């Protein structure tokens, strides 16, 4: 069951095998692609007395793909409208400074995939907004008129390129990715693959480009991706996401669950600290951020950790806040409560005209639920109440649940995904 979802899955059959298998699992988890591994330890093995074993933490490998250096430089220089697509790989490899250096060296505009949210600060003059589900019109326009894509750590799934018209695939695709599975297989473009760790490769390429041969491109340097916030009779989720970064400490990480709340965050949340957003728009498992936020706070206690989740996600895995309460792990959960499975409802309504099973006949009371598990709860129906709740939750340094009762008629920035599926 675990093998398809992990990089390595193994049954430990004997206690004296544990050290060897564990070190092998750690080396896979922390090298190359990096990711989860799984060991199954039966009860009889758990009860064995083991001799002390040496745990080896692998040193970080620096593997670069040097062969395409001159070709990459030539393609970027000859391009008339290059575009950098920053994906989740920028955040995973910590390549934020290298991304900025690449963009500024050639004066190339940057857009972000949903999973790449936070790869660059929202107010950088070369940042032109998000694309894909939760994207903005300006970013999509750049996507459809660029002749070269420089893709940094993105699979280019339909979540990212749902609004790229087939006739507008770029002439050339330069794709940096540690995993070759999807490289060159999504678009019809001629592809230059750069394999290996993104940060190491970018650093190597930037150090070895011939500075005399670098061409500065002419591009818009003002941020043009701002769009008007919706005007609603009740609390707008978009307006909350638009103001959130002004209310929270700079040293934060925001974990975002999947649903309308996630893509509203992808579109409207203004990232000030690069690398401070974690959003899995690809696997898209509801409730995944609740446990991740708790683990992140344990790993980085000096940070203020937020989790943006929805009422549907919270019904699935919200009991995990009791773990945070019992272990004194002060995470702040923002629960968007529109009393329905909003993204599913709006998508079903648009494509089939039906909304079966998407409205909660007995809606959740997230505050009462949170309080029953030992957390502090705040109910918010206005921006003023939300602002006050954020300040109180940060100051309390306790597990807090902020319930947002938002306008259920608000249209999420996801509906356009269905327009270009054929």
**Alpha carbons 370 and 378: distance in angstroms, whole number:** 9
**Is residue 207 predicted with pLDDT exceeding 90?**
yes
Same domain, 122 and 80: yes
Nearest to 304 by CA among 280, 268, 283, 330: 330
Q: Is residue 256 included in any domain, yes or no?
A: yes
Q: Is residue 226 included in any domain, yes or no?
A: no
Q: What is the CATH number of the domain that holds 345?
A: 3.40.50.970
pLDDT at position 384 is: 96
pLDDT at position 113 is: 96
Please answer whether residues 399 and 329 qualify as being in contact, where contact means their C-beta atoms are separated by less than 8 angstroms.
yes
Q: What is the CATH number of the domain that holds 182?
A: 3.40.50.1220
**230: pLDDT confidence band, cut at 50, 70 and 90?**
confident
Tokens at 82, concatenated = 């290059």
Domain count, the chain: 3
Same domain, 202 and 305: no
**Alpha carbons 308 and 323: distance in angstroms, whole number:** 18
Q: Is residue 361 included in any domain, yes or no?
A: yes
pLDDT at position 223 is: 60
**Is residue 1 predicted with pLDDT exceeding 50?**
yes
**Is residue 420 predicted with pLDDT exceeding 70?**
no
Please answer whether residues 127 and 223 qualify as being in contact, where contact means their C-beta atoms are separated by less than 8 angstroms.
yes
Q: Is residue 62 included in any domain, yes or no?
A: no
pLDDT, average across residues 230-257: 94
**Is residue 421 predicted with pLDDT exceeding 90?**
no
Q: Is residue 105 included in any domain, yes or no?
A: yes
Same domain, 159 and 92: yes
Same domain, 134 and 23: no
Would you give the distance in Å from CA 305 to the centre of its chain?
Answer: 15
Q: Is residue 223 included in any domain, yes or no?
A: no
- pTM for the whole structure: 0.90
pLDDT at position 179 is: 87
pLDDT at position 131 is: 95
pLDDT at position 418 is: 46
pLDDT tens-place string over residues 354-384: 999 999 999 999 999 999 999 999 999 999 9
**417: pLDDT confidence band, cut at 50, 70 and 90?**
low
pLDDT tens-place string over residues 80-120: 999 999 999 999 999 999 999 999 999 999 999 999 999 99
Same domain, 200 and 246: no
pLDDT, average across residues 197-214: 94
Same domain, 189 and 96: yes
pLDDT at position 257 is: 96
Same domain, 398 and 276: yes
Tokens at 403, concatenated = 């319930």
Same domain, 97 and 203: yes
Same domain, 256 and 349: yes
Same domain, 128 and 172: yes
**Alpha carbons 322 and 257: distance in angstroms, whole number:** 18
pLDDT tens-place string over residues 159-192: 999 999 999 999 999 999 988 888 999 999 999 9
Query: Which residue segment(s) compose the domain that 102 sits in?
Result: 69-213
**Is residue 415 predicted with pLDDT exceeding 60?**
no
Please answer whether residues 307 and 336 qualify as being in contact, where contact means their C-beta atoms are separated by less than 8 angstroms.
no
Q: Is residue 36 included in any domain, yes or no?
A: yes
pLDDT at position 224 is: 63
**221: pLDDT confidence band, cut at 50, 70 and 90?**
low
Same domain, 21 and 93: no
Q: Is residue 156 included in any domain, yes or no?
A: yes
* 407 burial level (CB within 10 Å; 0-12, 13-18, 19+): middle
């Amino acid at each position: 069951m675990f093998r398809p979802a992990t990089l390595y899955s193994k049954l430990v059959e004997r206690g004296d095998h544990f050290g060897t298998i564990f070190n092998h699992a750690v080396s896979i988890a922390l090298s190359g692609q990096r990711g989860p591994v799984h060991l199954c330890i039966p009860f009889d093995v758990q009860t064995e007395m083991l001799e002390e074993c040496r745990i080896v933490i692998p040193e970080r490998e620096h593997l670069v793909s040097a062969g395409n250096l001159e070709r990459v430089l030539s393609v970027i220089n000859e391009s008339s409208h290059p575009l950098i697509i920053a994906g989740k790989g920028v955040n995973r490899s910590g390549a934020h400074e290298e991304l900025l250096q690449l963009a500024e060296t050639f004066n190339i505009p940057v857009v972000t995939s949903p999973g790449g949210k936070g790869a660059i600060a929202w107010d950088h003059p070369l940042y032109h907004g998000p694309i894909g589900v939760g994207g903005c019109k300006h970013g999509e326009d750049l996507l459809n008129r660029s002749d070269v894509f420089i893709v940094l750590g993105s699979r280019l799934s339909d979540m990212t390129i749902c609004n790229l018209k087939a006739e507008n695939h770029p002439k050339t695709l330069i794709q940096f990715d540690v995993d070759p599975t999807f490289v060159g297989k999504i678009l019809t473009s001629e592809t230059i693959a750069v394999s290996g760790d993104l940060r190491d490769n970018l650093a190597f390429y930037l150090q070895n480009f011939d500075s005399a041969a670098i061409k500065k491109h002419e591009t818009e340097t003002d941020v043009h991706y701002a769009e008007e916030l919706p005007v609603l009779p009740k609390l707008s989720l978009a307006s909350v996401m638009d103001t959130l970064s002004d209310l929270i400490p700079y040293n934060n990480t925001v974990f975002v669950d999947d649903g309308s709340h996630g893509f509203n965050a992808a579109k409207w949340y203004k990232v000030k600290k690069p690398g401070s957003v974690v959003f899995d728009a690809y696997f898209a498992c509801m409730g995944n951020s609740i446990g991740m936020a708790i683990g992140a706070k344990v790993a980085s206690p000096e940070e203020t950790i937020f989790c943006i989740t929805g009422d549907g996600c919270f019904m699935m895995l919200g009991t995990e806040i009791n773990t945070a309460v019992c272990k004194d792990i002060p995470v702040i959960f923002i629960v968007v409560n529109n009393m329905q499975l909003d993204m599913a409802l709006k998508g079903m309504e648009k494509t089939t005209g039906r909304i079966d099973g998407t409205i909660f006949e007995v809606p959740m009371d997230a505050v009462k639920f949170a309080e029953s598990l030992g957390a502090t709860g705040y109910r918010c129906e206005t921006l003023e109440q939300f602002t006050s709740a954020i300040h109180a939750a940060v100051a309390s340094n306790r597990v807090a649940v902020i319930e947002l009762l938002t306008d259920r008629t608000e249209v999420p920035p996801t509906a356009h995904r269905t327009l270009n599926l054929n």
